[in-house]
Structure 1
Amino acid sequence: MDVSTLLDCNGLLALWRHMAATVGSGRTDWCELNEHGEMVTNPRPSARRQIALTDVYCDITGQIGHLAAMSVAVTTPSFGIRVPDVVWMPCERWESFDRDEPVPFVPDLCVEVLLDSDRAQDIGRRVNAYLEGGAREVMVVGQHGQVEIWGTTGRRRASIFGVTLSLDPMYFEEIGVSSVLSVRCSTGR
């Protein structure tokens, strides 16, 4: 990858505005721009994934305040304009930019829910880009509902924001009935 072809924040924002005008109002929710300014289209989330995203949003707003949002475009320094599933940041950061545009920086907390998503293939790059862009924490909810928490020093055991996600297992893929049964049998039941 030729580093000289990476676009800066202003170049990405200009392309985003052009894309929004071309694609049409309200349809950019499913689009991102990679670090070279190329449009990346994401499939619409299934109803199951939308419910899981809403649960994550509700958990965050209930625990650290209502300053969270779903599917907000953010500008990363190395991965283009991306759309995390849920973001949170303090009020003063929300007031520092035009909220009709992509956030010109990465919010304090970003969450990616991999359920019904093809983002698993680039989740490592997403996590790193969010952290490089100023996120203090990134949460990744896996296909089976497992939660990983990442900070600038690596994986964490708990959220620095005190967030605990309570995800309903009915929305996530089961690992397998046979593996669950063998675990239950080994506990003496």
Structure 2
Amino acid sequence: MRWEEVCEHKQLQDLPFKIELNKWGQIVMSPVKIKHSFYQGRIQRLLESFLNTGEVMPECAINTSDGVKVADVVWCSEERFSKIENEVSASIAPEICVEVKSSGNTLEEMEFKRNLYLEAKAVEVWLCNEQGQMKFYNEQGELEQSLLVPKFPKQIKR
């Protein structure tokens, strides 16, 4: 299946799951719990408060070497946004891609997605664990803090 078909498929419109495609075009679904949604929303609001330019978006579909993955939150510069805004799924990853770990995710899956986003030209990938702890990465590895948003907290609080 192609991403365009997933987006237009009537039976897939209102599922309570995050949907992605693997490299074989198979649908992968992940149920989302309230805490996941809370961290996703809080990260989005924090990004919007720290950045005055570009676009902050939830649930951004990104073409990767393992199919279309959907980052929980992204930040995209105006320049990069103008390249992808009319695409069904982003041909180049936004500069910041954030994944929030769900209880159904393994650490290996999170690391795999981190590498896929970096390969798709993300500048930084942030991972939020189930306790709200943030880790920041770029192509060189783990960072002490985000280089793009240095004031972003290392702990998301309620």
Please classify the TM superposition score into its range, dividing by the shorter chain length. 0.7 to 0.9
In structure 1, the residue matched to 2:26 is 38
Backbone CA RMSD of aligned residues = 2.2
1:71-115 alpha-carbon deviations (Å, 9 max, x no partner)? 111111x22100111001111211223446111221110011114
2: CA distance, partners of 1:34 / 1:88: 23
Residue 138, structure 1, aligned to residue 122, structure 2: no
In structure 2, the residue matched to 1:167 is 156
Within 5 Å, which residues of 2 pair with 1:37-186? 37-43=25-31, 45-65=32-52, 67-76=55-64, 78-99=65-86, 101-118=88-105, 120-163=107-150, 164-165=152-153, 167-168=156-157, 170=158
Corresponding residue SS for 1:159: coil
Conserved 8 A contact 1:141-1:148: yes
How many residues of Structure 1 are paired with residues of Structure 2 in the alignment?
Answer: 154
Q: Which stretches in structure 1 are left out of the alignment for 5+ residues?
A: 1-13, 171-189
The verdict on how the C-alpha distance between 1:119 and 1:54 changes in structure 2, with shifts beyond 3 A counting, is farther
Normalization by structure 1: what TM-score? 0.73
- Largest Rg, 1 or 2: 1
Conserved 8 A contact 1:79-1:126: no
Moved over 6 A (4+): none
Normalization by structure 2: what TM-score? 0.85
Structure (1/2) with the larger helix percentage: 1
